[in-house]
Amino acid sequence: MDRFEFYAPTKVYFGKKQETKVGEILEKSCYKKVLVHYGGNSAKKSGLLDIVCNSLKEHNVDYVTLGGVVSNPVLSKVREGISICKEENIDFILAVGGGSVLDSAKAIGYGVMNEGDVWDYYLGKKEPKACLPVGVVLTIAATGSEMSNSSVITNEEGGYKRALNHELGICKFAILNPELTYTLPNYQTESGCTDILMHTMERYFNKVKTLELNDQFAESLMRVVIMNAKILKDHPNDYDARAEVMWAASLSHNDITGSRTYGDWACHQLEHELGGMFQVAHGAGLAAIWASWARYVYQEKPERFARYARNVWDIREADDIKAALAGIDATEKFFKEIDMPINLHELLNRDITDKEIKELSYKCSFEENRTIGKFKVLTIEDMEKIYMMAK
C-alpha cells in the first residue's frame, strides 16, 4: 500500500430538521456576519432559505444573501461574491444548496483571503494560503464536496472548467437532512447517484496495491448506492433511501473508500470539459463517458475490473477478461435503468461533431501540456479516441 494522508475534520449534523440549528452553530463559533450563498428559486420556494435566515436572526447572526449559482458554477458569480464579502466584512460563508453552490462558496472563500485573481488558483499558477470558513446546508446528494477538499469552477470566457483541491477548502460543518432532497427532479437525483459511484470508482480503479478494507468499503458503498438509486426512481420520497444515498455521497469523497492521491480521475477530467462546453449535469456527463473509458483501459489490469464485476454486480465468471467486460456492460445497463445517458448523443440530444471532440481533447490536455489518468496514462490522442467511442 502506498503512503497516503487522511484528513476529514468536517462536523456533520445528520437527520431531520437539522437545518434549524444553523444559527446556533454559527453563534457558538462566534461568527458575526455571514454570506448566505444559494442557487436558483428552489431554496426560496421550498421555504429553506427562510428557515436558514430566521435561524440566523434568532441567534443574532447578521447576514447578507447572494443567489444565482448555476449547475456549473461560474467565475463571474464567484467574483461578485468576493466583492460582497470584502465590502460587508463577511467572516463566514454558508452555502445553501448542492455541490455547485458549495463549489462557488469555496471559491469565494479563496478569493477573499488570497491576493490577486482567484482564477489563478484554479489554474494552478498560485497556491492558496487561506480560505474564509465555509459551511453548508446540503440539498442534493452528489458531489461529496461537503466533506472533501474539492471545488470546481467554470470560466465563461472560453468555457474552461477547472478544479482546486486543497484542505483549506474543507467545510467546517455540513448539515445533511435527507428530507431536503425530496423536491429534486428524478434526473438530478440519479445524476447525483452516478456522481457518488464515480467518486468511488475513480479511487477503486487503480494500479497500486490497495488495502482490503478500503476495497470492501468501496464495494459496499457502490452496492448500496445502486440499490437505493433504483428505489428512488419509483419512490422519490423514501426517507431511508435518501438517507443512505446522502451519507454515501459524503463518504465517497472524503477518502474513506480510498485515497484521492492514487485514484485515476480521467473520467472526471474528460467530463469537466463536457460541463464547461455544454453545461451538462456532472453525473450525467460521467455516465455518458464512463463505459467508453472503461472499455479503452480495462486491459491494463483486467483483474481489477473483474473484481468489480464479481463483488459489485455478482457476476459469476471465472475468466477475468470476460468478467471485466460483463461488469462494464452491467454498469451501462444500470445507467440506462436510472435514465442516465450512456453516450454523448444521449447526453446532448444531438450528434457531437468531430471538431467539438478535438476541442474537448485540446482543452482536457491543457492545450497539449498534460496527460490524465493513472490506471492508464492518457495522451491527447487517447482522450480524442475515448470521446469518439462515446459519440
β-strand pairing of 173-176 with 62-66: unpaired
pLDDT higher than threshold 90 for residue 2: no
Residue from 100, 99, 101, 122 nearest 35 by CA: 101
Q: Cβ of 4: how many Cβ atoms within 10 Å?
A: 14
Q: Clarify whether residues 40 and 108 are in a common domain.
A: yes
Q: Clarify whether residues 166 and 190 are in a common domain.
A: no
Q: What is the pTM of this model?
A: 0.94
Report the percent of the chain where pLDDT is more than 90. 94
Average pLDDT over residues 29-47: 94
Q: Clarify whether residues 166 and 189 are in a common domain.
A: no
Report if residue 55 sits inside a domain. yes
**Which grid cell is 152?**
470546481
Confidence tier at 42 by pLDDT (50, 70, 90): confident
State which H helix or E strand residue 174 sits in: strand 173-176
* Residues 326, 317: Cα–Cα separation, whole Å: 9
Report if residue 142 sits inside a domain. yes
Contact yes or no for 78/108 (Cβ under 8 A): yes
Contact yes or no for 347/280 (Cβ under 8 A): yes
Q: Cβ of 30: how many Cβ atoms within 10 Å?
A: 9
Domain boundary pick from 130, 163, 180: 180
Q: Clarify whether residues 297 and 157 are in a common domain.
A: no
Report if residue 371 sits inside a domain. yes
Confidence tier at 265 by pLDDT (50, 70, 90): very high
pLDDT digits (tens, 9 = 90+) for 285-337: 999 999 999 999 999 999 999 999 999 999 999 999 999 999 999 999 999 99
pLDDT higher than threshold 80 for residue 129: yes
Confidence tier at 1 by pLDDT (50, 70, 90): low
* Residues 86, 108: Cα–Cα separation, whole Å: 10
Contact yes or no for 198/143 (Cβ under 8 A): no
pLDDT digits (tens, 9 = 90+) for 74-92: 999 999 999 999 999 999 9
Q: Clarify whether residues 214 and 361 are in a common domain.
A: yes
* Residues 165, 121: Cα–Cα separation, whole Å: 10
Q: Clarify whether residues 156 and 135 are in a common domain.
A: yes
pLDDT digits (tens, 9 = 90+) for 375-384: 999 999 999 9
Residue 40's pLDDT is 85
β-strand pairing of 173-176 with 11-14: parallel
- Contacts of 118-125 with CB under 8 Å at 24 or more apart are 118/75, 118/78, 118/79, 118/82, 119/75, 119/153, 119/155, 119/162, 121/164, 122/151, 122/153, 122/155, 122/162, 122/163, 122/164, 123/162
**Which grid cell is 179?**
428530507
Q: Clarify whether residues 221 and 148 are in a common domain.
A: no
Instruction: Identify the burial level of 329 via C-beta atoms within 10 angstroms of its C-beta, where 0-12 means exposed, 13-18 middle and 19 or more buried.
Output: middle
Residue from 211, 245, 209 nearest 227 by CA: 245
**Which range marks the domain in which residue 257 is found?**
185-389
Domain boundary pick from 180, 214, 248: 180
Residue 7's pLDDT is 87
Q: Clarify whether residues 159 and 189 are in a common domain.
A: no
**Which grid cell is 88?**
460587508
Q: Clarify whether residues 168 and 203 are in a common domain.
A: no
* Residues 134, 105: Cα–Cα separation, whole Å: 7
Domain boundary pick from 180, 202, 220: 180
Q: Clarify whether residues 158 and 240 are in a common domain.
A: no
* Residues 142, 330: Cα–Cα separation, whole Å: 21
Cα 87 to chain centroid distance, Å, stands at: 30
Contact yes or no for 257/350 (Cβ under 8 A): no
Average pLDDT over residues 50-57: 98
Average pLDDT over residues 116-124: 97
Residue 367's pLDDT is 95
Residue 5's pLDDT is 84
Q: Clarify whether residues 150 and 274 are in a common domain.
A: no
* Residues 134, 35: Cα–Cα separation, whole Å: 10
Residue 3's pLDDT is 79
Confidence tier at 121 by pLDDT (50, 70, 90): very high
pLDDT higher than threshold 90 for residue 4: no
* Residues 334, 340: Cα–Cα separation, whole Å: 9
Domain count, the chain: 2
CATH code for the domain of 154: 3.40.50.1970
Contact yes or no for 291/205 (Cβ under 8 A): no
Q: Clarify whether residues 84 and 227 are in a common domain.
A: no
CATH code for the domain of 347: 1.20.1090.10
Residue from 162, 43, 157, 30 nearest 107 by CA: 162
Q: Lowest mean pLDDT of 244-248, 253-257, 284-288, 342-346, name the range.
A: 253-257
Contact yes or no for 109/84 (Cβ under 8 A): no
pLDDT higher than threshold 80 for residue 355: yes
End-to-end Cα distance, the chain = 37
pLDDT higher than threshold 90 for residue 170: yes
pLDDT digits (tens, 9 = 90+) for 194-207: 999 999 999 999 99
Report if residue 6 sits inside a domain. no
Give the residue, 133 or 2, on which the prediction is more confident: 133
* Residues 324, 300: Cα–Cα separation, whole Å: 11
